[in-house]
């Protein structure tokens, strides 16, 4: 890449260059890793499982455990039924999870394995569970796979209840353990009774103990997923990401949901907390109000450095929307908002948001790739680039300040432990962006202009 991207943009219909997405199964694997004592299982070739584990390991720096059906030529001809049967027996025998969450791959989908039927025929040990979801790699993206896996759990486990258990279900979306931790902290601070599903806080950010725990103590429990069916209401964060599970819980258990944007920035966090407060009847605590005030204080102190800065944002749809919202609140001007996930709802939501702030020259695109983003940036430059690790080649080639946010980040540490959501997350984001912009100003300043106080 680097200097290989031509400036002239020509139409591409068939060739994908430098994707800003990956396939469904990796999202499904991540969702399943947020369930307590669950073994994610990839029903396909052994390479898929290995790639997905590697991909997650590179981002979270954790051993992402999952098993595979290890398809052979035979499985392709006769179906993967016997592989699954053997796999499930082996998994319960040796790894002893409470539940196996099977997701399909492009191969098992194309040869037409009927997972409903295959699972019905399995011999499952007493007290153990096997559930599944369909994640054809040629539809949607890893974000879709995440939602589909959640819907799979709900479909198999959630129980409809005539009486509400009074709990609020929180679907956090495809975010880091650090974000899930922050969402829970805010809910706990208000004394809200909640069920977070899935919850990788405690599974994908585990402390070192000297012992390797295949099933760490975190994760949504099977019982909690059952109870989701009797929840008072669901807050489905990520208007694209959490839509599939929200529809599933409505269909299966008649539980209503409110779709909210990822609580990134002031307004979206306000919305989240007010919804939480309204649904639970609990007041927003002084602690949270104070954090909000601190965030505003930071924004006011530093706003001169963000104002009118043009920014390019790439990543998963709801993450890009959330990051853009906070950029707009700081007075920055999104110039490009790109996601690889093919969903035109993204474009619609982006346009509505931009309109509200009077930004008219931003290009918002779904089903795009990073090659295109690079070309756009070559034609009209920006002051800041926000995205995952794959953007780093563009950042270097165009010499533009770069903030890593979203998924995957494979070339830095700590990020998965820290939030972007909530007021605290916004403070962190303000610091990351401010530092990137101001470091650049220092780097480019002539000696006489280098400012000691900024």
Partner 1 sequence: MSEGILEVRKKSIMVKNTGCSGDGTGIDCEKASVSGAVSQRACVYCGARVVLNPITDAFHIIHGPIGCSSYTWDIRGSLSSGSEIYRNSFSTDLREKDIIFGGAKKLTAAIDEVVDKYSAKLIFVYATCIVGVIGDDVEAVCREAENKYKIRVIPVKAEGFSGTKKQGYKLACDAVMKLIRPYKITDKKGQHGLNILGDFNLAGEMWLIKNYFKKIGIEVVSTFTGDSSHENLLKAPQAALNVVQCAGSSMYLANQMEKEFAIPFMKVSFFGIEDTSASLMQVAHLLGDEQVIAKAEAFTKKESARLRKFMAQYKPKLAGKKAAIYVGGGFKAISLIRQFNEMGIETVVVGTQTGRKDEYEIIQNIVNDDTVILDDANPAELEYFMKIKHADILVGGVKERPLAYKLGIAFCDHNHERKHALGGYEGVENFTKEINLSINSPVWEYMTAI
Work out whether 119 is an interface residue with partner 1 (CB under 8 A): no
Q: How many CB atoms lie within 10 A of CB 61?
A: 17
Q: Which residues pair with 40 in a beta bridge?
A: 101
In the chain, what is the straight-line distance between the N-terminal and C-terminal CA atoms, in Å?
A: 36
- Answer whether 170's CB lies under 8 Å from 228's CB: no
Residue 273 C-beta-side C-alpha neighbours within 13 Å: 26
Q: Which of 37, 62, 128, 267 binds partner 1 (CB under 8 A)?
A: 62
Near partner 1 by CB under 8 A: residue from 165, 214, 281, 344: 214
Select from 52-60, 260-268, 323-331, 436-444 the region that touches partner 1 (CB under 8 A): 52-60
Q: Which of these segments, 76-84, 183-191, 348-356, 442-450, binds partner 1 (CB under 8 A)?
A: 76-84
Residue in 1, 190, 296, 363 binding partner 1, rule: CB under 8 A = 1
Q: Token pair for residue 146? A: 């995440």
Nearer to partner 1, 110 or 441 (CB): 110
Instruction: State how far Cα 392 lies from the chain centre.
Output: 20
Candidates 134-142, 165-173, 296-304, 437-445: pick the segment binding partner 1 (CB under 8 A).
134-142
Q: Which of residues 296-355 bind partner 1 (CB under 8 A)?
A: 342
| Segment interacting with partner 1, rule: CB under 8 A, options 173-181, 211-219, 232-240, 321-329 | 211-219
Interface residue with partner 1 among 3, 121, 446, 451 (CB under 8 A) is: 3
Does residue number 414 form part of the binding site for partner 1 (CB under 8 A)?
Answer: no
| Window 371-390: residues binding partner 1 (CB under 8 A) | 371, 390
42 pairs with which residues across the strands?
Answer: 68, 103
19, 81, 166, 331: residue in contact with partner 1 (rule CB under 8 A): 19
128 binds partner 1, rule: CB under 8 A: no
Among 7, 86, 251, 412, binds partner 1 (CB under 8 A): 86
Asked if 123 touches partner 1 (CB under 8 A), the answer is no
Shortest approach of partner 1 to residue 391 CB, angstroms?
12
> What gap in Å lies between CA 141 and CA 244, rounded to an integer?
13
Backbone region of residue 337 per phi and psi (left: phi > 0; alpha: psi in -120 to 50; beta: other values): beta
Task: Mention every residue, 6+ apart, whose C-beta is less than 8 A from residue 360.
Answer: 354
Q: Are 145 and 33 in contact (CB under 8 A)?
A: no
Strands 233-237 and 257-260 come out as parallel
Q: Can you tell me the distance from the alpha carbon of 186 to that of 342, in angstroms, rounded to the nearest whole number?
A: 32
Tell me the window of 138-146, 255-263, 312-320, 424-432 that interacts with partner 1 (CB under 8 A): 138-146
């Amino acid at each position: 890449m680097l200097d290989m991207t031509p400036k002239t943009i020509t139409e591409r219909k068939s060739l994908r260059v430098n994707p800003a997405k990956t396939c469904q199964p990796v999202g499904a694997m991540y969702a399943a890793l947020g369930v307590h004592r669950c073994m994610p299982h990839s029903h396909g070739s052994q390479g898929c499982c290995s790639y997905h584990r590697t991909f997650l390991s590179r981002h979270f720096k954790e051993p992402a455990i999952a098993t595979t059906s290890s398809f052979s030529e035979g499985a392709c001809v006769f179906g993967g039924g016997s592989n699954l049967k053997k796999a499930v027996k082996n998994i319960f025998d040796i790894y002893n999870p409470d539940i196996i969450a099977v997701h399909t791959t492009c191969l098992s989908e194309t040869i037409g394995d009927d997972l409903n039927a295959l699972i019905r025929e399995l011999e499952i040990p007493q007290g153990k569970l096997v559930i599944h979801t369909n994640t054809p790699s040629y539809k949607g993206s890893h974000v879709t796979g995440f939602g589909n896996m959640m819907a799979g759990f709900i479909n198999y486990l959630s129980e409809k209840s005539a009486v509400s258990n009074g709990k609020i279900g929180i679907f956090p979306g495809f975010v880091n353990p650090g974000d899930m931790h922050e969402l829970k902290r805010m809910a706990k601070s208000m004394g809200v009774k909640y069920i977070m599903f899935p919850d990788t806080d405690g599974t994908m950010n585990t402390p070192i103990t000297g012992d390797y725990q295949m099933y760490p103590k975190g994760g949504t429990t099977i019982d909690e997923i059952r109870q989701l069916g009797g929840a008072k209401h669901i807050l489905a964060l990520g208007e694209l990401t959490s839509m599939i599970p929200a529809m599933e819980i409505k269909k299966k258990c008649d539980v209503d949901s409110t779709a909210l944007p990822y609580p990134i920035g002031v307004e979206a966090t306000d919305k989240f907390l007010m919804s939480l407060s309204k649904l639970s009847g609990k007041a927003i605590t002084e602690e949270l109000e104070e954090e909000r005030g601190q965030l505003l204080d930071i924004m006011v102190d530093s706003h001169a450095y963000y104002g009118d800065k043009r920014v390019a944002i790439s990543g998963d749809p709801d993450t890009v929307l959330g990051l853009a919202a906070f950029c707009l609140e700081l007075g920055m001007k999104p110039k490009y908002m790109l996601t690889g996930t093919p969903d035109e709802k993204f474009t619609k939501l982006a346009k509505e948001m931009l309109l509200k702030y009077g930004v008219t020259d931003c290009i918002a695109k779904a089903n795009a790739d990073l090659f295109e983003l690079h070309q756009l940036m070559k034609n009209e430059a920006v002051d800041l680039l926000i995205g995952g690790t794959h953007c780093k080649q563009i950042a270097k080639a165009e010499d533009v300040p770069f903030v890593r946010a979203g998924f995957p980040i494979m070339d830095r540490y700590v990020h998965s432990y820290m939030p972007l959501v909530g007021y605290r997350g916004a403070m962190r984001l303000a610091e990351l962006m401010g530092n990137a912009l101001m470091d650049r100003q220092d780097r480019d300043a002539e000696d006489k202009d280098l400012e000691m106080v900024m």
